[in-house]
Structure 1
Amino acid sequence: MDSNLLKVFVNVANKKSISKAANSLKYAQSNVTSRIKQLEKNLGCKLFHRVPSGVILTHEGERLYHHAVEIISKIELAILDMKDMLKQEQLVVASTESNAVTRIVNFLLNLHNDFPNTQLELITNTTTEIKKMIMDYKVDIAFISGVPKEEELMVLNRIDEELVLVEPFDEMAPNVFLSFKKGCAYSGFAQDYIFEMTQIEHKKLEFGSYETILGCVKAGMGKSILPMSIVEKLRFENEVKISKLNKNALDMPTCLVCRKDNIPKIVEYLKSVKL
């Protein structure tokens, strides 16, 4: 099977539009259309449905998509290996927002100093979304919250986080749990922990930044559970009431992970670097 056809197919699937994929690939739209038709003829099935907004994958297209992504990734990895067996030409790094707040800048600076010829790219998102990206080969390494359960992932390094309950100083906090946006790994574990501790269901409010969460806790809007490193980094350690949690009840280290079949060339460096 022609890998170039698969690249066009994946691009159209990601863009959900033949015209947008053509612009991205710098091909004529007719060229993209003909390549998709050629791939469909080779496979003997229809890969896309046409809809008013563009195209969407058929059932057969969805099955092909995951194989295509894996094939393309392995071909690109093979090309990089053949170019230079010792050189890490590029590294796409994903990080949770909590890790980005506390340590990602120093990590990237050290990485750049030690490997100045490596092209670095950073993506931030929630643990849930980051896991999807690394499983789909869209990132090379990722900082996630918690030890991964996926068999395809391996832990390269880890940081044991000290988790704390933060509450307002001067008043009784309402039964409201202030959380980072949907997909944050701390949220589900923390809500379960608070329920076990109080036997009271807490209303959940989601925010887009940890500084906002801490500011709202300080204002008396509710309580939250966060890594102590974030509280200190944002200088709220004297602004809110802090209670340490039992690590046996709630252990959520930050782990640096990669796919077992897509291990970076600088793996030994990543395993030994101080985070």
Structure 2
Amino acid sequence: MDLTQLEMFNAVAETGSISAAAIKVHRVPSNLTTRIKQLEADIGVDLFIRENQRLRLSPAGHSFLSYSKRILALVDEARMAVSGDEPQGTLTLGSLESTAAVRIPGVLAMFNQRFPKIQLSLATGPSGDQIDGVLDGRLSAAFVDGPILHPSLEGIAVYEEEMVIVAPADRAVITDAREVSGANLYAFRANCSYRRHFESWFHAGQSLPGKIHEMESYHGMLACVIAGAGIALMPRSMLESMPGSHQVSLSPLPAEWRYLNTWLIWRRGAKTRQLEAFIGLLEQAS
């Protein structure tokens, strides 16, 4: 096993195609095919499931990919450490939509100015998706709702969010879950931590929501609430950043449910130099 094989393996895993991967790493397809087969023979497992002209990762391939990315990232970090160069390479971040929209735009702008040699990318989605991305190596780090208890992850709390129930404008302040028993909810997919928090609040109050409508954005949730179609839960900071926030009724959750911490998480023992630079800037901006 060598670094070139790992680079080729990563390229095939990302593209799902020998020909596309060959273009990416500037090699001929036959060379990639040979080197991938040598890698599989070396470690004794099939890393890909071959279907017609496409390749998709096998279960063993998914596990190996996270290690392969970490190995190559450590090699890059080692090179930079001994050369004394400023941080460079890639930093792939994940984030909750609300955090990306309200909390970190200024930090991202400062990071791009301070570290122009680092290629920064950002993907948004529910906490569950972001945690999976960090665990399987697609993301270097992610902003998620904490605390984080997974043994393979570590992180730091960075923001405190006040959660509020958003209801139609003519709705009185909600003080108990039983007051909205059976109400339609607008929320992200089931792996959204905020949605689980809202459902837990209902259950703790011995109540149940009505139909849960899965949405793709807070703007969509807010539009449905304004129209009188149901209620939603969102961070106050996110709500106040959106046009139309004055057209709804706000109800803070009880004290024991009101605040949630946003964490920046990464794989345990996998804090790269690029990530350390980002964390340093994040702490300065706090």
TM-score category (smaller protein): 0.7 to 0.9
SS across alignment from 1:238: helix
The AA in structure 2 aligned to 1:129 is D
**Equivalent pair of 1:128/1:185 in contact (CA under 8 Å):** yes
Cα gap change, 1:267/1:47 in structure 2, threshold over 3 Å: closer, same or farther? Answer: closer
Deviation, structure 1 residue 53: 5.3
Deviation, structure 1 residue 115: 4.0
**Where do 1:59-78 residues align within 5 Å?**
60-78=60-78
Deviation, structure 1 residue 42: 2.5
Match for residue 264 of structure 2 among 256, 266, 270: 256
**Where do 1:76-155 residues align within 5 Å?**
76-84=76-84, 87-90=86-89, 91-116=91-116, 118-155=118-155
The AA in structure 2 aligned to 1:143 is F
Report the Cα distance in structure 1 between the residues aligned to 2:55 and 2:132, rounded to whole angstroms: 22
Deviation, structure 1 residue 212: 1.2
SS across alignment from 1:265: helix
Deviation, structure 1 residue 261: 1.8
Cα gap change, 1:151/1:40 in structure 2, threshold over 3 Å: closer, same or farther? Answer: closer
**Aligned counterpart, 2:176:** none
Match for residue 228 of structure 2 among 220, 223, 226: 220
Deviation, structure 1 residue 102: 1.0
Deviation, structure 1 residue 171: 5.7
Deviations 1:139-182 (A, max 9, x none): 33321122211233333341110100111122697621100245
Which is worse superposed, 100-109 or 252-261? Answer: 252-261
**Aligned counterpart, 1:200:** 208
The AA in structure 2 aligned to 1:231 is L
**Equivalent pair of 1:157/1:270 in contact (CA under 8 Å):** no
Which sections of structure 2, spanning at least 5 residues, go unmatched? 173-179
Cα gap change, 1:253/1:61 in structure 2, threshold over 3 Å: closer, same or farther? Answer: closer
Deviation, structure 1 residue 250: 5.1
SS across alignment from 2:161: coil
Report the Cα distance in structure 1 between the residues aligned to 2:58 and 2:47, rounded to whole angstroms: 5
Deviations 1:223-249 (A, max 9, x none): 111100011011444211101112423
SS across alignment from 2:138: coil
**Aligned counterpart, 2:56:** 56
Report the Cα distance in structure 2 between the residues aligned to 1:258 and 1:22, rounded to whole angstroms: 30
**Aligned counterpart, 1:166:** 166
**Aligned counterpart, 1:266:** 277
**Equivalent pair of 2:10/2:68 in contact (CA under 8 Å):** yes
Report the Cα distance in structure 2 between the residues aligned to 1:198 and 1:53, rounded to whole angstroms: 54
Which is worse superposed, 17-26 or 31-40? Answer: 17-26
The AA in structure 2 aligned to 1:183 is N
Deviation, structure 1 residue 204: 0.7
Residues paired across the two proteins, number: 274
**Equivalent pair of 2:47/2:57 in contact (CA under 8 Å):** yes
Cα gap change, 1:36/1:114 in structure 2, threshold over 3 Å: closer, same or farther? Answer: closer
Which sections of structure 1, spanning at least 5 residues, go unmatched? none
**Equivalent pair of 1:142/1:258 in contact (CA under 8 Å):** yes
The AA in structure 2 aligned to 1:274 is A
% same residue? 28
Report the Cα distance in structure 2 between the residues aligned to 1:77 and 1:132, rounded to whole angstroms: 24
Deviations 1:3-27 (A, max 9, x none): 2112212322333322232233232
Report the Cα distance in structure 2 between the residues aligned to 1:4 and 1:183, rounded to whole angstroms: 37
**Equivalent pair of 1:167/1:223 in contact (CA under 8 Å):** yes
Cα gap change, 1:121/1:228 in structure 2, threshold over 3 Å: closer, same or farther? Answer: same
**Equivalent pair of 1:152/1:259 in contact (CA under 8 Å):** yes
Report the Cα distance in structure 1 between the residues aligned to 2:144 and 2:9, rounded to whole angstroms: 30
**Aligned counterpart, 2:199:** 191
Cα gap change, 1:158/1:166 in structure 2, threshold over 3 Å: closer, same or farther? Answer: same
